Amino acid sequence: MVSGVQLVQGMILLLTPSQRGAECAAAIEASADQPTQAVKSFEEAAFCLRTNNYSAVVIDECLLDADPGQASLLLQHIQTALPVYINGAISGIPRTVEKVQSALQRRRHDENAARLSALANLRSELREPLTGIILNCELALDAPDISSGIKEKVRNMHELARQLGAKLQMEQDPQSSNSH
C-alpha cells in the first residue's frame, strides 16, 4: 500500500445500476482474467477509485445522463484507468464483455506502440553522443603522449561504448525486439 492507495494491477471497476451488475462483473472477470468489482453509484465508484488502482472503469451511460456533474467528478478520479462506456439498457452481458475486451486490447496495443516509440526516440538521442564518445576514444588512443594507465582506461571506455552501440543496434532489429 502506497499513501493509502492499494496498488492492484489489472483490476476492472464496473459502474452500473443494473440488477445484473454482479453477473456482468463475473463475466468480465472471466473473459479479461482480471478481478472485476461492480458498484451501483458514483459515490461507491469514487471511493473505489480513491482506494484502488484500476486498469479499466466500465461506466453505464444511463448514469452519465442522469447526473453529468457526478460523472465529471468521477472522471477526475479515474487517473490512468481506461474508461469504457456501455449502454446497459440495450447491451447485454456478451456485448459488454466484448466492448471491455476490445478496449483492453486497444490499450495494450497503444501501450506497446508508445513503448516502441519511446525506445526509438531514446535510441536516436543516444546514437550521436555515443558516436562522439567512440570517436574521441579512438583519437585519444592514437595520441602518442598518453600514459599506459590512461590508455587502458580509454580502451575500456571505448569497448563499453561499442558494446552499448551494439545493444542499441540489436534493439533496432525487429527480430530481436520480438524475442524480448
Residues in the chain: 180
Domain 6-112: which topology?
Rossmann fold (3.40.50)
Using CA atoms, how far apart are residues 173 and 154, in angstroms rounded to an integer? 29
**Residue 69 in contact with residue 37, Cβ under 8 Å?**
no
**Residue 24 in contact with residue 48, Cβ under 8 Å?**
no
The predicted structure's pLDDT at residue 57: 96
Average pLDDT, the chain: 87
Closest CA to 96 of 154, 126, 55, 56: 56
pLDDT in tens, 125-175: 988 899 999 999 999 999 988 899 999 999 999 999 999 888 887 666 555
The region of weakest confidence among 36-40, 56-60, 64-68, 106-110 is 64-68
Quickly count: other Cβ atoms within 10 Å of residue 61's Cβ.
16
pLDDT in tens, 47-84: 999 998 999 999 999 998 888 888 888 888 888 899 99
The predicted structure's pLDDT at residue 10: 78
Print the SS3 string covering 88-131.
Answer: CCCCCHHHHHHHHHHHHHHHHHHHHHHHHHHHHHHHHHHHHHHH
Using CA atoms, how far apart are residues 135 and 141, in angstroms rounded to an integer? 10
